[in-house]
Amino acid sequence: MLRCCRLHAREEPPLRALTLAIALLPLLCALPPAAGGPDTGAGGLPTAAAPTTPANAQPLRIGVLAWRGSERALSSWMPTAEHLRERLPDHAIRLVPLGLEEMETAVASGELDFLITNPGHYVHLENTHGVGRIATLETHTLQTPSQALGSVVIARADRDDLQALSDLAGQRLLAVSPEAFGGFQIIQDELRRVGIQPRRDLQELRYTGFPMDQIVDQVRVGAADAGIIRSCLLESLVAEGLVEPEQFRVVGERAEPGFPCRLSSRLYPDWPFARLAHTDRDLARRVAIALMEMAPPEDSEALGWTVPLSYQPVNELFERLRIGPYADFPENPLAELLYRYRWPLLAGLLVMLIGFGHHVRAEYLIRQRTQALHETMRQREAAEEAARHRQEELAHVARISTMGELAAGLAHELNQPLAAIVNYANGCRRYLEPMDERQVPQKARLLEATRHIAEHGGQAAEVIRNLRAFLRKEPGEFRPVDVNQIIDEALGFMAVALRRAETRVECRLGTGLPPVRGNSVQLVQVLLNLLSNALESQAELPATARFIHLSSERAGDRVRITVADPGEGMADAVRARAFEPFFTTKDRGMGLGLSLSHSLVQEHGGRLSLRPRKSGGTLATIELPLQEETDA
């Protein structure tokens, strides 16, 4: 499809014919000889092939909506077919010009691989046949492809009585088809907004079918009072010398900033390039990549393709008009509300009935048994309290005993998506690395992002493996570890949380510290727990008073790490139980963080201690044996 808003130089009829012949010459030469007539695709559909392709090339059939006739459709989309032929030399590209009903029939019978059609027809086919968009038409003469398509209502210039869309009441109106998006449905919605129902308030509503140009001709000769055409068609006809601009007026004209054509409606996304449900996914991916490479220069009026846009505005239009997938929605607003939320309403009503029945039954039982239970209640309270305590202790023991099994199941469930995340990130890096910076301007940033994704995914998987090994009492993997590097990694993970909490970090790291023997993931896990606790303990302080002090130093045959904060601190009773499993003072805490950290440090042969700061807050200290001492 040629962009209708693109104005062409005026040509005399013989010159136009010569231009069209030259444009179609490669197409005609590419058609294979046949005894019975033009080339036909599956099901007898007329097609046009791109220039010569290998004899063993696989056919690739692209249906195109011929809204201005088959010849114009073929010449309009031939540049796209040529481009795909160059990028996919192992396929024979064939264009199949079709009308609305013909295209739906071809889609239903699987005679096409891809299609190019208007947004409304695409939304209909998406809901009925499962087609999916892979690209959206783009031209640099428009500001954005999401605001590229509208409709215009034209009338003869001498019809001074037709100014606004509301003036169409009682008039004869021409449209392409009830299913035509730019040729009817857009204006149908605009008429609804001004209180006009076309089938009720018009004197006559007549459909002409494609090509759309005939609507202009019939309005010009007075066969109708007004006609609906898609945006920019009138400007194209003027540029082609087929009509004079002073012959027509636009009814209900509205201005859209940056749009070069006259309008009577709001704007919608441009035409999509879609694949059918049966189309091979790898082929669809290759076609999508090829289309993205067809983006025209910024100073060009040629067509190009961009990433597929959202067609939600078209769905909303269909919902307002109760057409397409919304045809069964009721018209009454109250009935519509009840229909849309019928299942939640029924569920809520059922819950209310159950609650009411339970309340009535409970009240009845209470009245019947109050006297009998009153004397025995005091004796039962003591027994129930004792039983509750015993039950809580048993549940606590059960939670501890089953923690290893829970960790194993959790690790199994999480390792698979984490492995997929790492694999996809590495795949993205391999896909991006050979690309040119001109094709992907953000290549460096994307490569850096995928590297971080892979690293953090691996880090998460390692944490899960270590937790599982710990709870199953499996030996961890220990190696020489730089304590300062562990601190840097932990601060990197906490950077976002620290900025959000407006908390500054003061570091005093020792230089030339000998390595310790340990598991870096486990030690980072311990530091993250201590940093998180320090952050939460000072949430109520003003931003200027929040800080976390980190330090590392050698202490004899050990390396000492300290984490200090000015928070609310710990009471002596709380500090005495801080390392007990499931003990917590937080409303939503599990009581496992400090317990797990304490166990991990002990597994390294070290010590974790908590003590109050002199100026308020808490000082956490980790002491780890040196590599030499451990090995000895």
> Which pLDDT band holds residue 96 (cuts at 50, 70, 90)?
very high
CATH number at 403-471: 1.10.287.130
Total-model pTM: 0.48
Q: At the topology level of CATH, where does 479-631 sit?
A: Heat Shock Protein 90 (3.30.565)
Q: Does this chain's domain 13-145+270-321 share its CATH topology with 150-251?
A: yes
For residue 584, what is the DSSP state? -
- Cα separation of 172 and 27, whole Å? 41
pLDDT, one tens digit per residue, over 371-404 is: 777 788 878 777 777 677 666 655 655 565 566 5
Q: Who has greater pLDDT, 15 or 566?
A: 566
Q: What is the CATH number of domain 150-251?
A: 3.40.190.10
**pLDDT, tens digit (0-9, with 9 covering 90-100), for 229-249:** 999 999 999 999 999 989 999
Query: For residue 425, what pLDDT is reported?
Result: 85
267, 259 contact by CB (below 8 A): yes
Q: 414-470 pLDDT, tens per residue?
A: 777 888 888 888 888 888 888 887 778 888 888 888 888 888 888 787 767 766 655
Q: What is the mean pLDDT of residues 50-56?
A: 62
Average pLDDT over residues 90-117: 94
Mean pLDDT value across the chain: 82
Specify the range with the lowest mean pLDDT, choosing from 200-214, 343-357, 470-484, 523-537. 470-484
Query: Predicted confidence band at 43 (pLDDT cuts at 50, 70, 90)?
Result: very low
DSSP secondary structure letters along 4-54: TTSPPPP--HHHHHHHHHHHHHHHHHHSPP-SSSS-B-GGG-B-EE-S---
pLDDT in tens, 490-509: 888 788 888 888 889 999 99
| The pLDDT of residue 340 | 66
pLDDT at residue 190 is higher than 50 = yes
Rounded to the nearest angstrom, the gap between the alpha carbon of residue 294 and the centroid of all alpha carbons in its chain is 24
**Is 24 a residue whose pLDDT tops 70?**
no
Residue 35 has a pLDDT of 32
pLDDT at 588: 61
Burial of 237 (0-12, 13-18, 19+ CB in 10 A): buried
Give percent of the chain above pLDDT 70.
Answer: 81
* pLDDT at residue 346 tops 70: yes
Task: Identify the pLDDT of residue 26.
Answer: 38
286 against 12, higher pLDDT: 286
Q: Of 3.90.220.20, 3.30.2320.80, 3.40.50.620, 3.40.190.10, which CATH number belongs to 13-145+270-321?
A: 3.40.190.10
Residue 311, C-beta contacts closer than 8 angstroms, at least 6 positions apart: 119, 122, 123, 133, 269, 272
| Segment holding 232, helix H or strand E | none
Residue 598 pLDDT grade (very low, low, confident, very high; cuts 50, 70, 90): confident
What pLDDT score does 519 carry?
Answer: 87
Q: Indicate if the pLDDT at residue 478 is higher than 70.
A: yes
Q: Which helix (H) or strand (E) holds 181?
A: none
Contact criterion met (CB below 8 Å) for 240 and 10: yes
Residue 4: what pLDDT? 38
pLDDT of residue 351: 92
Give domain limits for the chain: 13-145+270-321, 150-251, 342-401, 403-471, 479-631
| Exposure string for 566-596, b = 16+ CB within 10 A, e = fewer | bbebbeeeeeeebbebeebeeeeeebbbbbb
Q: Which range, of 123-137, 303-317, 412-426, 463-477, averages the lowest pLDDT? A: 463-477
Strand duo 272-275 + 114-116: pairing:
antiparallel
**Tell me, what amino acid is at 60?**
L
